[in-house]
Structure 1
């Protein structure tokens, strides 16, 4: 009877919204030691023989009981903000001259520059409508190398751009003339050479010149003289990667004929011009017009008992070939990227 009465009072107080009072009554209900054999009531501490020990009772998790610990990231941010506040306090106590010498020119401030050794023609023929821009280069922008661009011919330019044609590029603070090589990237990350730029899609352009940071915009122009009446901008792009060298490849198909056949082995001639060139392709796969596959085994020394010409090699095939078969080799050969750089001035 007593338990039922306490439970009913707890339920009524909880439904009425008295959360705090309900918690106190619940603690008193479950910690009063009423679970003893004699049925005697406790005083609310619950440390009697039949009660629940106080140490075993756990608090309900909540925002009030959780303590937010400071992480390493928060500690670093706090130290940086404190250091900046101390630096700003010290700088505010200095005069303008010392602060300028220690901190430098702050962004948004106007400066006066004095140039020495400037020719007089610059002042005499200076056009006020053409302002002079003063900029600086980063530490890595003074090196020369190959840049990988994502390039696209401008939709209003009338002609396709041909590889290795001179093109004037504006990349960052630089303007220079170079001979770009166009390519398209296959699914296996191979750069396949293109003779012309695609008509309505992007391609990869390998350009030699002063390196610029990634994501730098690029504008290409073929001619800048005043006789051009059409659209001048040839294409636009963006810098993707910087590297000392890029491997751009193109398809190579070499054709040869057998001059001596012995079962599945044959000596092929006419495909290479020298023994050194044939040795570079040892292990490459070859095929006949009839579909018989084979492998290049070894380059043959010119002359000797076979009286072989220079560039002859020995190959093995899956089946015996005929003397009238034509053997061809399909391979990828690297394209030489011209390292031409010509700065463009006014």
Structure 2
């Protein structure tokens, strides 16, 4: 068995979006979800296009930065009031209407591990699309694919999610999806999760080994909450140029039947 050369890996890193048209599937069916863009940066794209009806249940802020300032200021006012316990004091919590099965488990857990009681700010009980600035940890060598299940520890919360990695383009409203999380730079990880307000540290854990012991796979922080962030998966069809003139070029093996040529002619 011949192993691929080092130049092949460099080619994948340099041209990650180039794909070959399959021989067994028509290109018009294989790439039915894709659309041609004249310019990835300047072409228009509706953020509400082709969304399922369930996406309307996602909470969206009219002005996220203004809402964050209002919520934090309101929380600080409540902490300064007489109804809140001062820091360093002991309090007793009485929780009503707890099922007996849940209460018995909490009593057993309290003997071995501490139980943390946390309060939620306004809107933190709702679901939205969170975007994290994330980077692969230096101690983790295995590749991390996009949409791979990870354990996210954000603030006091811990949940499972399948993030979508993308670039962070400051000069465009569209961001290119990344198939893997790179080691040398930060990427954006987008996922459905409970609302939290920046800036919160993030630790992404990955269960590995037969014992499924979680290890640190990536670190980062919460950057923004925006359900309208446009993440596009980019593909460039490849071929072999036969004839090249000033205005036209003949390319072979980009398509394999006349129907695909007529379909993508526009």
TM-score, normalising length: structure 2: 0.54
Are residues 235 and 255 of structure 1, via their aligned partners in 2, closer, same or farther at CA, if it must alter by over 3 Å?
Answer: closer
> 1:160 touches 1:199 (CA, 8 Å); kept in 2?
no
Structure 1 residues 1-346: aligned runs within 5 Å: 103-116=83-96, 117-119=98-100, 120-122=103-105, 125-186=108-169, 188-189=171-172, 190-223=174-207, 227-228=211-212, 232-253=215-236, 290=244, 293=247, 311=263, 313=265
- Number of aligned residue pairs: 171
> 2:137 touches 2:183 (CA, 8 Å); kept in 1?
no
> 1:147 touches 1:206 (CA, 8 Å); kept in 2?
yes
Larger Rg: 1
Corresponding residue for 1:32?
Answer: none
> 2:126 touches 2:194 (CA, 8 Å); kept in 1?
yes
The DSSP-based 3-state class of the residue aligned with 1:185 is coil
Are residues 291 and 133 of structure 1, via their aligned partners in 2, closer, same or farther at CA, if it must alter by over 3 Å?
Answer: farther
| Displacement of 1:128 | 2.6
Are residues 309 and 118 of structure 1, via their aligned partners in 2, closer, same or farther at CA, if it must alter by over 3 Å?
Answer: same
Consecutive unaligned residues in structure 1, runs of 5 or more: 1-100, 257-286, 295-306, 315-346
> 1:145 touches 1:245 (CA, 8 Å); kept in 2?
no
> 2:128 touches 2:193 (CA, 8 Å); kept in 1?
yes
**Structure showing greater relative contact order (alpha-carbon pairs closer than 8 Å, 6 or more residues apart):** 2
Consecutive unaligned residues in structure 2, runs of 5 or more: 1-80, 249-258
| Displacement of 1:118 | 4.6
Inter-partner Cα distance in structure 2 for 1:308 and 1:123? 62
The DSSP-based 3-state class of the residue aligned with 2:263 is coil
> 1:206 touches 1:246 (CA, 8 Å); kept in 2?
no
CA displacement 1:196-243 (0-9 Å, x = unmatched): 1112222111122112111111111122898146x7111111011111
Corresponding residue for 1:317?
Answer: none
> 2:201 touches 2:221 (CA, 8 Å); kept in 1?
yes
